[in-house]
Structure 1
Amino acid sequence: MDNRNDFYTQKGYELHSTDDLTASMEDYLEMICRMLKLNDVVRIQSLSENLHVKPSSASKMVTALKDRGYISFQKYGYLTATEKGLDAGNYLLYRHDVLHEFLCLLNHSDNELEQVEKIEHYIDRRTVHNLQMLLGELKSSTSFFQ
C-alpha cells in the first residue's frame, strides 16, 4: 500500500496507533525497569522523584500500567514488573541506549538525554534495529569521526 500522502498531525498518528502504551506510559515503564535493575522493587515515591512528577501522577500512571498487565503491586506499596512489563521495559531501555549512544557518537558528546527522551517514542523497532547496525558500522569506521 502506498501511503506517502497519508499525512496526519502528531495527534492523528497517535490516534491511528495500535500500540498498547502511550509515550507517557513508556516513560514510566522504562524508569520502573531501570530502577528494578538496582532494586528488587520500586516505590511510588521513588518513581515520582526519578521522573520529577507528583506522587499522585505516578500513582495514576502505575494504575494504568497495572490495568494493562505491565506491573503488579505487592505489600507496602511496592511494585514490580510482570513478565510482559519486563519484556516491554527491556526493549524500552535498549531503544533508549541505542539512541543515546548513536546521538552521542554523531554529536561528539557524552550526553544527549534530552534529545533521546524527546524522540524515542516516535521510531519503530525496525528503525532502532537499523540504527544499532549503523552504529556498529560507524564505530568501526575511523574515517567518519576524524
Structure 2
Amino acid sequence: MTTLTPSLEDYLEELYRFSLCTDTVRVTDLSVKLGVSMPSVTKALHKLKNGQYISYERYGEITLTEKGNIIGDFLVKRNQLLKEFLILIKTNCDIEAEAEAMEHYLSQATIRSIQAIVTFLNNNPEWYKVLLEYIVSSSKTDV
C-alpha cells in the first residue's frame, strides 16, 4: 500500500480540486498547476494508482476512486481550515504558503483541536474580540 507523502498529498489534493470543476484531468493539467515536470506527475500518478486513490492509464484520463475522493475531500478541507485559522489569528504571513507548510506535518489530533478553536471563535464573537485585543496588545510588547 502506498503511503501518502506530502508530495503525493499535494497531487491528490489538486486532483480533487480539478474533479470539482471538470470531468477530465490530464497529466499536463497537474504539471502546469503544480509547476512540476510531466515525468514527475506520471511517477506520482503511478504511486497514487498503486495506492488505489486513482484510476489512470497512460495517456488517458485520471479519475479518483472512492478512496481518492474521500481523502481528497479531507485534504482540501484541511487546507481551508488552516487558512481560516491563520486568518482568524491575524497572522502577518503568506496565508497560502503557511497553510501549505503546516498541513502535512500536523497530527489528526492537532487538526481536530484547530477545528475546535475555529468553530469556537466563529460561534463566540465576544471571545474572538478578546483574542484580537490580546493579539494587538501582545504585539506591542514583542522585542
What is the TM-score normalised by the length of structure 1?
A: 0.79
Q: How many residues in Structure 1 have an aligned counterpart in Structure 2?
A: 129
What is the TM-score normalised by the length of structure 2?
A: 0.81
Larger displacement relative to structure 2 (101-110 or 112-121) = 101-110
Paired with 1:125 and 1:37, the residues of 2 have a C-alpha distance of 24
Q: Structure 1 residue 59: deviation in Å?
A: 0.9
Residue 121 of structure 2: aligned partner: 138
Kindly indicate whether the alpha-carbon contact (under 8 Å) linking 1:65 and 1:71 is maintained by their aligned counterparts in 2. Answer: yes
Kindly indicate whether the alpha-carbon contact (under 8 Å) linking 1:72 and 1:79 is maintained by their aligned counterparts in 2. Answer: yes
| 1:77-104 residue CA offsets vs partner (Å, 9 max, x unmatched) | 2101100111111111111111111012
Gaps of 5+ in 2: 134-143
**What is the alpha-carbon root mean square deviation over aligned residues?**
2.2
Q: Tell me which amino acid in the other structure corresponds to 2:65.
A: T
Match among 77, 80, 101 for residue 63 of structure 2: 80
Paired with 2:96 and 2:18, the residues of 1 have a C-alpha distance of 17
| 1:87-137 residue CA offsets vs partner (Å, 9 max, x unmatched) | 111111111111111012212569500011111011122211211110122
Residue 97 of structure 2: aligned partner: 114
Point out the structure with max Rg over C-alpha: 2
Moved over 4 A (4+): 108-111
Q: Alignment identity in percent?
A: 35
Paired with 2:44 and 2:59, the residues of 1 have a C-alpha distance of 18
Gaps of 5+ in 1: 1-18
Kindly indicate whether the alpha-carbon contact (under 8 Å) linking 1:32 and 1:81 is maintained by their aligned counterparts in 2. Answer: yes
Q: Structure 1 residue 75: deviation in Å?
A: 8.6
Kindly indicate whether the alpha-carbon contact (under 8 Å) linking 2:45 and 2:56 is maintained by their aligned counterparts in 1. Answer: no
Residue 81 of structure 2: aligned partner: 98
